[in-house]
Amino acid sequence: MIVKVCGMREPENIRAVEQTGADWMGFICYEGSSRYVADLPRYLPRQAKRVGVFVNADIDNIRSHAQKFQYDYLQLHGTESPDTCQTLHEEGFRLIKAFALRSIADLRQIPPYAPSCDYLLFDTPCTGFGGSGTAFDWDLLRHYEGSTPFLLSGGIRPESLEALKRFRHPRWAGIDLNSGFETAPAVKDAPKLKAFIEAVRKAMNIETQISVFQKTTLNY
């Protein structure tokens, strides 16, 4: 289970969140966001992977930021074309493409992007790009039949734990956490994050053990 904490900016907060067990940290490279990272922070994660989040940026701008921050992944969160994804993929970048899901019809956008993407990210529709603080209808993902793994995003907070325990999908790879764990834009509550990450991982581990036990019993 990948845990991505997005919207990081402040050096000491980055350092604290890195100790929570987060696997990836997202840095917003979109000026329209209250979590926009204008300058290179004095501290960047050394254990967690770095994800640069872009919204309809031109490719030269993406390349420049990726080199400056040494991103492990690029997350494209706007209306970027499949051709843009293919170009970046062919240059060796690992990609996460975000899609806002309103209805089953939105899943039909995905196939042209899939060959260039390492992961998808499913988010809540809003007037801007991300940061709605609300969840979308996860039941829509019953209709996702692609092979590209995905992260759940949009309004996940401590109260989401029970819903996450119930959620099932063979391509579900992780969760994306942001405003539900903030004390201010780009400032995360590290103790709250740590407790949640530990609870999620404990629940997923128990579920895995049950699944293995059931398969073993059936094969006996």
d(CA 12, CA 14): 5
pLDDT for residue 204: 83
User: Pairing between strand 182-184 and 150-152?
Assistant: unpaired
48 three-state secondary structure? coil
Burial of 168 (0-12, 13-18, 19+ CB in 10 A): exposed
Determine the Cα angle at 115 with ends 113 and 120, to 5°.
Answer: 55
Neighbours of 57 (CB within 10 A): 22
Burial of 109 (0-12, 13-18, 19+ CB in 10 A): middle
Stated as kind and residue range, the H or E segment containing 74 is strand 73-76
pLDDT tens, residue by residue, 105-115: 999 999 999 99
Evaluated on CA atoms 179, 177, 73, 17, the torsion sign reads positive
This prediction has a pTM of 0.91
Contacts 24+ apart (CB under 8 A), 55-63: 55/30, 55/129, 56/80, 57/29, 57/30, 59/84, 59/87, 59/88, 61/29, 62/29, 62/88, 63/91
Read off φ and ψ for residue 159, nearest 5 degrees.
-70, -10
What residues pair up with 3 in beta bridges, in sequence order?
175
Instruction: Write down the CATH superfamily of domain 2-219.
Output: Aldolase class I (3.20.20.70)
pLDDT tens, residue by residue, 75-120: 999 999 999 999 999 999 999 999 999 999 999 999 999 999 999 9
pLDDT tens, residue by residue, 189-213: 999 999 999 999 999 876 544 343 3
